Amino acid sequence: MGMTLIEKIVKNNTGTAAKAGDIVTVNVDRVMIHDIFIPFVASKFEEMGFTKLWNPDKVVLIYDHLVPASQVDDTRHFKVGNAFVEKYGMKNIHRADGICHQLMTEAGYVKPGNVVFGTDSHTTTYGCVGAFSSGIGYTEMASILGTGTLWIKVPETIRVNITGKLPENVMAKDIILKLIGDLGADGATYKALEFAGDTVENMSVASRMSMSNMAIEAGAKCGLFSPDEKTAEYCEVELTDEMKNLKGDEDATYCRVMNYRAEDFVPVCACPHNVDNCKTVKSLEGTEIDQVFIGSCTNGRLEDLMAAAEVLKGKKVAPFVKLIVTPASRKIYTQALENGTMKILSDAGAIITHPSCGLCCGRTGGILTDGERVVATNNRNFLGRMGSSKVEIFLASPKTAAACAVAGKIVEA
């Protein structure tokens, strides 16, 4: 009997074959803690009686949600984090370099086949390079910091096959929103989403990141892509035979198989107030908007900014509409400056912010008020996430978002 991708990762990690439903203890390759959770992780770690980290070099602390501070208590998180770093000899700390999920792969912390956990639900992002990564709470994180291990139940797998060539105005974001709409917000709870097919193979790592990032929005434990030469180049590694074998076998046991033709995809939006409330952009055309947000760990990469700039070039943001652009990291910000993307966005009237979580988590940079609507490229549109509970959030791709900014209403790119 063949094995799914997640089963192969677990076998390589533990040295023991395991199937879906088995309880196993994995050896953790890397962990990520962000600024919101560090005070709770630090407190629980010492409450558990630990006196040293299992491996300081495998722990990464990233300040991104609260940078720059927008509330008085935010600075406490920085002080606690800095004290924890100094006390336990950590070296991997990022204080204002970008969003945690971008940095974990961009900075080389995650490699194909790794087992990684983070204190944020969108830790599923690293599945884009063939790693098993998932979000956990601060108690589990404290336990890993002391032991280097964590027990998990091996997830069942939903195989998602996508074949063909995508239409020009369709991006990976449209694919994952459509999939979440088809599955429902709980349709993949504690399951692995395994993406395959020639459409997937032709995707950039950045596009794969968008899809892995949002796997959690269907309840998935992880969202996995098989490593290939694009992965190797991005991760700056040479693929080993073990890494090359990280693909689901045809005779593996899948709890569900979903097949899609790329040509059938169209631009879509996730409508208020749930990510699985997916509708075509065409059906929403004419809906007036107040703001557009392009950024986040879902769609703040260079290819996203360039896609938006392609739509915005030579045009202006509609009167009384704010366009906020937030690159996912300093590196991306610099790249977008160097290749002229930032100038196009700025000339169109965009407000360009520092790399951080910002508006996505309702912190610095553009919260809205009662009755306002925003088209955003981030991953969640929950009630009250970007301001008051009477704000309407529509999730879309960077191309669609840019087109909406110019039109002042929801339109297709």
DSSP 353-404: --SSSGGGGT-SS--B-TT-EEEE-SS---TTTTBSTT-EEEE--HHHHHHH
Residue 23 pairs in a beta bridge with 153
Angle subtended by helix axes 138-147 and 38-47, to nearest 10:
60
| Confidence at residue 72, expressed as pLDDT on a 0 to 100 scale | 81
Estimate to the nearest angstrom the gap between the alpha carbon of 147 and the chain centroid: 27
Question: Other C-beta atoms within 10 Å of 68: how many?
Answer: 14
Interatomic CA distance for residues 402 and 389, integer angstroms: 25
Contact 82, 88 (CB under 8 A): no
| Confidence at residue 43, expressed as pLDDT on a 0 to 100 scale | 96
| Confidence at residue 69, expressed as pLDDT on a 0 to 100 scale | 78
The residues, any chain, with a CB within 8 Å of residue 380's CB and separated by 6 or more, are 217, 275, 360, 393, 395
Same topology for domains 5-13+20-262 and 268-407, yes or no? yes
| Confidence at residue 14, expressed as pLDDT on a 0 to 100 scale | 96
| Confidence at residue 1, expressed as pLDDT on a 0 to 100 scale | 81
CA torsion, points 107, 109, 114, 120, in degrees to nearest 10? -90
The pTM assigned to this predicted structure is 0.94
Which pair of tokens denotes residue 405? 């900014």
The residues spanned by each domain of the chain are 5-13+20-262, 268-407
- Quick one: CATH architecture of 268-407? 2-Layer Sandwich (3.30)
| Confidence at residue 372, expressed as pLDDT on a 0 to 100 scale | 94
The CATH homologous superfamily to which domain 5-13+20-262 belongs is: Aconitase, domain 3 (3.30.499.10)
pLDDT mean for each 10 residues of the chain (413 residues): 95 95 97 95 96 97 86 87 95 94 96 97 96 97 98 98 97 98 96 98 97 97 97 95 94 97 98 96 97 95 98 97 96 97 97 85 78 94 83 97 98 94
| Confidence at residue 120, expressed as pLDDT on a 0 to 100 scale | 93
| Confidence at residue 11, expressed as pLDDT on a 0 to 100 scale | 97
